[in-house]
Amino acid sequence: MIDDTEPQWTSWLVPVFLVANVAVFVVVMYVNNCPKHKLVGKCVARFLGRFSFEPLRENPLFGPSSSTLKKLGALEWTKVVINHQGWRLITCIWLHAGVIHLLANMLSLIFIGIRLEQQFGFVRIGILYLVSGFSGSVLSSLFIHNNISVGASGALFGLLGAMLSELITNWTIYTNKASALLTLVVIIVINLAIGILPHVDNFTHIGGFLTGFLLGFILLPRPQLGWLEHGNIPVRTGLKSKYKPHQYVLWVASIVLLVVGLAVALVVLFREEDGNEYCTWCHYLSCVPTSRWDCNQNN
């Protein structure tokens, strides 16, 4: 339950992001052109012609080859740091490894992003999406040097993180807050737990989530109940401040943590240093070795 006087926005940016991701995937598949570099019989869905997929042994997600993704902007430490192609920290957000990867991310974008944009507007949600995606790419590059990474997962985890911090900072205006918090935490934990499986870049997830969590305190605080009445004038409410004291404290602390954290991460990255040297156990956050798989093949 929130103040009914708060305006509701029409969601258009999230659908634009969705269309952009799909369009980029179509372009990637056009460039990939599986029949050109593979025997026609080995391509999957051959009736699609040059849009057919790579053999499932090479890409089980029904998508392009890794070489095509590298050519079109996938995140790769060597190219970002050694070859000074920092633009890959952004372009990788719009690339996907396959139809399954794209479908999972776009469904998440619809269910999470549209609700947030309706409540907070396209400017704040656009900033959340892009900055979280960028930060996820930075953290991934710090810890993963031998593999490429693509996908909007960092940006989507940023939206999840923002949902959590928005619930915390606006705690007093919600009903059923405990159940909402528990549900959200369970969803986040499950999704982060999936990241410890091989071939999943959990550093992107974690970086995006932490950034979105901090940005939520900065961009998504709601005014106190009653403040929005009568054109933002606190008439007959006795309110002297638009926001509660704890919202101001969280706002300042989050700005400091976000700016300092991102600045330090970028400095360490472009000094060609390995994040695993500073945190010897952090590699377990992205892959936990078992008898069924070897994490050294994925990091």
Say which amino acid occupies 103. L
Domains and CATH numbers, the chain: 75-229+240-286 (1.20.1540)
* Structure confidence by residue, pLDDT tens digits, 169-204: 988 877 788 888 898 899 899 888 888 877 789 999
Q: Give 77-81 contacts, CB < 8 A, sequence gap 24+.
A: 77/141, 77/144, 77/145, 77/146, 78/145, 80/141, 80/269, 81/141, 81/269, 81/270, 81/272
pLDDT confidence bin for 40, thresholds 50/70/90: low
CA distance 31 to 26: 9
| Active site (annotated) includes residue 84 | no
Question: Is 124:181 a contact under the CB 8 Å cutoff?
Answer: no
35-44, 71-80, 86-95: least confidently modelled range = 35-44
Q: Which residue has the tokens 């330090």?
A: 264
138-147, 150-159, 161-170, 282-291: least confidently modelled range = 282-291
Phi-psi region of 272 (alpha: psi -120 to 50; beta: other; left: phi over 0): left
pLDDT of residue 172: 80
| Active site (annotated) includes residue 149 | no
pLDDT of residue 1: 45
pLDDT of residue 4: 47
Of 183 and 87, the structure prediction assigns the larger pLDDT to: 87
Q: Is the pLDDT of residue 164 over 90?
A: yes
pLDDT confidence bin for 298, thresholds 50/70/90: very low
Our measurement of the distance from residue 77's CA atom to the centroid of its chain's CA atoms, rounded to an integer in Å, reads 19
pLDDT of residue 299: 43
pLDDT of residue 284: 86
* Structure confidence by residue, pLDDT tens digits, 235-250: 555 667 788 889 999 9
Of 161 and 40, the structure prediction assigns the larger pLDDT to: 161
Pick the catalytic residue: 108, 135, 149, 205?
205
Average pLDDT, the chain: 88
* R_g (Cα) of the chain, nearest Å: 21
Pick the catalytic residue: 153, 165, 254, 286?
153
* Structure confidence by residue, pLDDT tens digits, 97-151: 999 999 999 999 999 999 999 999 999 999 999 999 999 999 999 999 889 999 9
